[in-house]
Structures are given as structure tokens and as C-alpha cells.
Amino acid sequence: MMSSREDSGCPADPQTVACIGLGIMGQAMACRLIGAGFDVRGVDPNPQAANALAMRGAQMCASPAVAAASAQCAIIMVSNATQVRAVLFGPEGIVHTMPRAGVVWIASTIPADVMRECARRLSEYGLTPLDGPVSGGRRKAQAGTLTVIAGGSQAALEGAMPYLSACAAQIHHVGETGVASTIKIINNLLAASHVVLTAEALALGARTGVALDKLIEVVGCSSGASQMFLNRASRMTQGDHEVHASIDTFLKDLDIALASAQSLGASVPVSRAARAVLARAAQSGMGPHSDTELFDLYQAARALSDEQ
């Protein structure tokens, strides 16, 4: 078994949590942990994100390895699989310092096979991995009412529970490592398609001349409603473009789902059509922007038409 920091005499402190990645979701989750009384040690290359968390009382660290020393739990909320591997196993990764048996909650949305690989490697270092992607967006993260989809051992779930409970209202243990990531990827396939369809439906409504507030009111309590419609429709029509989730993030997550579908020989034409709209938005420079700007894309008639 590979060694970890505890071997050299640095025991884990259950009140210490390393939060690696302080973007929209990571920042909100770290703030919930601070509010729950945990000693949060944060890492993010963005000085603005780091300073914002420091103002809330977190100790900012130069690397994941520094943050994880003496931490009982490390929460990984970075953008993609490459970043996950780097913060776990890179030269400054947590495996080099985190006390043995510490829980590593990987909350990032990554392919299930990468999650299984990371879990196996973490176990070789004597660490306890939790496949734990989250759903709910910025507002639920701020309120501590996220949904956590948890995969892995019962021991991993129990070890992570104090930290999960600070961030989530619903925790679903769905099976072994990789199952949670698979469910999250399918959820995000739906979410990405629904957000595109919401923009498309509202743009069609605008062209017909119906009052969009009435359209939203009726659809919101009818069979065409979805969580994305309920959450995004009014924001789209009111020009609320605060970034809760970016177009780039939806595109990345949908690409994971489409790659999985291709490997399984599954047909997903609707999702591929949604990806084409997201890709057109990203190519026009909207990638880092809020997904609510998709409505503007349709309004400007720059979305993919049936003929394209």
C-alpha cells in the first residue's frame, strides 16, 4: 500500500475539510461547510474565488497537497477529468499528504470509468473514495439543499455523511463506485436537452406574439414543464444572465453522455440536436456565459435551423 501523510505522524482532524475547486458550486458548498463549523482549507487558481472564500473565514492554501494535510475529508469540485486526476495524483496532489482513511468526495461530473479508475488509485493510497456528483445548481448549493448521488462503500458514505449533510437535503446511495456518475451523466443529458428546449419554446412563443409571462404560467403547471423550464424560463425572458451554470459546462457534460451512448451503441438523436445548439452558442463566444442566454441566441435566429 502506498504511504500517506499520516504515516509520518499527522493525524486526521474530523473538523478539517479540504475544498479543491471554488467555482460556482465549490464556493457555495465550502461556505455551507464554514457555516456548519468546519475548518475549511480552500484551493483555487482564481484569485477572485480564493479571496471570496477567505473573506468567509477559510484558510487558503497553495496546493491540494497543503490543503489535504490533516484533513479528514477532501471535496473535489473541479471542471473535468483532467483536473480531477491532477488534484488527486499530480505532483501537488492530495494523495501525497492526506491522512490514511480520509474520505475523498469527488463531486465533479466526470465519466464513470474515470471515477472508477480514481477510486481504485485512491484506495491504493489508503484513502476512502466517494463517487458523489451533485445536482441542484447554485441556489440549492447556497441553501444547502443539493441532491447528492452517492456511489461506493457504506463506509465511504458514513465517513462522508457529516460533510454531505452540510451541503445536501437529499442523499441517494445508488450502489458501487461509477453508478452515481452514470446516473448524474444521464440526468445532465436530460437537463441540457431541457434547457435548450426551454429557450426554443420561449422563442417560438415570442414569434407567435403570445405574452411570455402567460406562456410560462401555463406551461409551468402543465405537462410540458420540467425542472429546467421552471428554473430557467422566467430568467431567460427577464434577461437574468447571472451564471448559475455555463453553456460550456452543459456542453462538457453532454459530451460525456454522448460518448457513453456511442460506446454502448445507444441512439440519442435528440441529445445530439441539443448539443448542436450548445456548440453553436459556444462557437459564437457564449461558452462561459449563462445558459439563459440561449434564449437570446434563438431570438437572434442564430440557433441551428432544421435545414442546417
Across the chain, mean pLDDT equals 94
CA-closest candidate to residue 81, choices 110, 120, 116? 110
Task: Determine how many CB atoms are found less than 10 A away from the CB of residue 19.
Answer: 31
**Which SS3 state, helix, strand or coil, does residue 235 take?**
helix
Residue carrying C-alpha cell 475529508:
73
Catalytic-labelled residue, pool 140, 184, 214, 252: 184
CA-closest candidate to residue 80, choices 195, 249, 244? 249
Q: Which residues pair with 171 in a beta bridge?
A: 148
Q: Which amino acid is at 133?
A: P
CA-closest candidate to residue 102, choices 83, 129, 138? 129
pLDDT value for 1: 45
This prediction has a pTM of: 0.92
Q: Which residues pair with 38 in a beta bridge?
A: none
**Which SS3 state, helix, strand or coil, does residue 169 take?**
strand
> Among this protein's residues, is 184 annotated catalytic?
yes
CA torsion sign, 246 to 247 to 250 to 252?
Answer: negative
Q: Which amino acid is at 174?
A: V
Which residues have CB under 8 Å from 253's CB, separation 6+? 109, 185, 188, 189, 191, 192
Using the predicted structure, report yes or no on whether residue 82 has a pLDDT greater than 60: yes
Distance CA 110, CA 108 (A): 6
Using the predicted structure, report yes or no on whether residue 4 has a pLDDT greater than 60: no
pLDDT value for 11: 75
The domain 5-176: what is its CATH number?
Answer: 3.40.50.720
Distance CA 92, CA 7 (A): 18
Q: How confident is the model at residue 15 (pLDDT cuts 50, 70, 90)?
A: very high
Q: Mean pLDDT over residues 102-112, rounded? A: 98
Q: How confident is the model at residue 86 (pLDDT cuts 50, 70, 90)?
A: very high
Using the predicted structure, report yes or no on whether residue 303 has a pLDDT greater than 90: no
Distance CA 236, CA 229 (A): 10
Q: How confident is the model at residue 12 (pLDDT cuts 50, 70, 90)?
A: confident
- The CATH fold of domain 182-299: N-(1-d-carboxylethyl)-l-norvaline Dehydrogenase; domain 2 (1.10.1040)
Distance CA 146, CA 166 (A): 10
Percent of the chain with pLDDT over 90: 92
3-state SS of 171-218?
Answer: EEEEECCCHHHHHHHHHHHHHHHHHHHHHHHHHHHHHHCCCHHHHHHH
**152: DSSP letter:** S
The domain locations on the chain are 5-176, 182-299
Distance CA 111, CA 179 (A): 10
**79: DSSP letter:** S
Using the predicted structure, report yes or no on whether residue 223 has a pLDDT greater than 80: yes
**Which SS3 state, helix, strand or coil, does residue 13 take?**
strand
Q: Mean pLDDT over residues 114-125, rounded? A: 98
Distance CA 147, CA 235 (A): 22
Q: How confident is the model at residue 269 (pLDDT cuts 50, 70, 90)?
A: very high
Judge whether 133 and 119 are in contact, CB under 8 Å: no
Question: For 67, phi and psi rounded to 5 degrees?
Answer: -65, -35
